[in-house]
A = this chain, B = another copy of it.
Amino acid sequence: MRLALAGAGAVGASTLELAGEYGHEVVAIADSSSAAVSEEGLDPETVLDRKRETGSVGEADPEALFAADYDALVEATPTTLGDAEPGFSHVKRALEADRHVVLANKGPVAERYADVRDLEAGSDGEVLFEATVGGAIPALSTITDVGPGRVTAVRGVLNGTANFVLSRMAAEGLGYEHVLAEAQDLGVAEADPSFDVEGTDAALKCVILANVLYDREYTLADAEVAGIEGVPGSALELAAEDGRTVRLVGEVADGEVRVGPRLVPENGTLAVTGTRNIVQLDTEHAGRLNISGRGAGGHETASAVLADVGRLARR
Residue contact B315 to A299, C-beta cutoff 8 Å? no
The stretch that binds B, out of A5-13, A200-208, A285-293, is A285-293
A315, B310: Cα distance in complex, Å: 12
A314 at the interface (CB under 8 A from B): yes
Residue contact B291 to A287, C-beta cutoff 8 Å? no
A59, B158: Cα distance in complex, Å: 54
Residue contact B145 to A18, C-beta cutoff 8 Å? no
Q: Which residue of B lies closest to A293 (CB)?
A: B289
Residue contact B314 to A299, C-beta cutoff 8 Å? no
Q: Which residue of B lies closest to A279 (CB)?
A: B291
Number of residues from A at the complex interface, CB < 8 A = 38
A314, B299: Cα distance in complex, Å: 28
Residue contact A303 to B146, C-beta cutoff 8 Å? yes
| Chain A contacts with B in 248-285, Cβ cutoff 8 A | 267, 269, 283, 285
A91 at the interface (CB under 8 A from B): no
0/1 interface trace, chain A 294-315, chain B, CB 8 Å (1 if under)? 1001011011100100110011
Q: Which residue of B lies closest to A288 (CB)?
A: B293
A136, B142: Cα distance in complex, Å: 10
A147 at the interface (CB under 8 A from B): yes
On chain B, the residues within 8 Å of A292 by CB distance are: 269, 289-290
Selected contact of A136 from candidates B137, B141, B269, B289, CB within 8 Å: B289
A136-B286 contact, Cβ under 8 Å, with A311-B145, A314-B315: yes
A307-B138 contact, Cβ under 8 Å, with A291-B290, A302-B285: no
Selected contact of A303 from candidates B286, B300, B304, CB within 8 Å: B286
A55, B289: Cα distance in complex, Å: 34
Which residue, A137, A293, A300, has most C-beta atoms of chain B within 10 A? A293
A232 shortest CB reach to chain B, Å: 26
Residue contact A289 to B146, C-beta cutoff 8 Å? no
A311, B283: Cα distance in complex, Å: 18
0/1 interface trace, chain A 24-45, chain B, CB 8 Å (1 if under)? 0000000000000000000000
A290-B293 contact, Cβ under 8 Å, with A22-B147, A145-B141: yes
- 16 new A-B contacts at CB < 8 Å, known A145-B310, A286-B299: A18-B285, A135-B286, A136-B283, A136-B289, A138-B141, A138-B289, A269-B292, A283-B303, A285-B299, A285-B302, A285-B303, A286-B303, A287-B294, A288-B293, A290-B291, A290-B292
Which A residues fall within an 8 A CB radius of B? Answer: 18, 21-22, 135-138, 141-142, 144-147, 150, 267, 269, 283, 285-294, 297, 299-300, 302-304, 307, 310-311, 314-315
26 A-B contact pairs sorted by A residue (CB < 8 Å): A21-B150, A22-B147, A135-B286, A136-B283, A136-B289, A137-B289, A138-B145, A138-B289, A141-B145, A145-B311, A146-B303, A147-B310, A269-B292, A283-B303, A285-B300, A285-B302, A285-B303, A286-B300, A287-B294, A287-B297, A287-B300, A289-B292, A289-B293, A290-B291, A290-B292, A290-B293
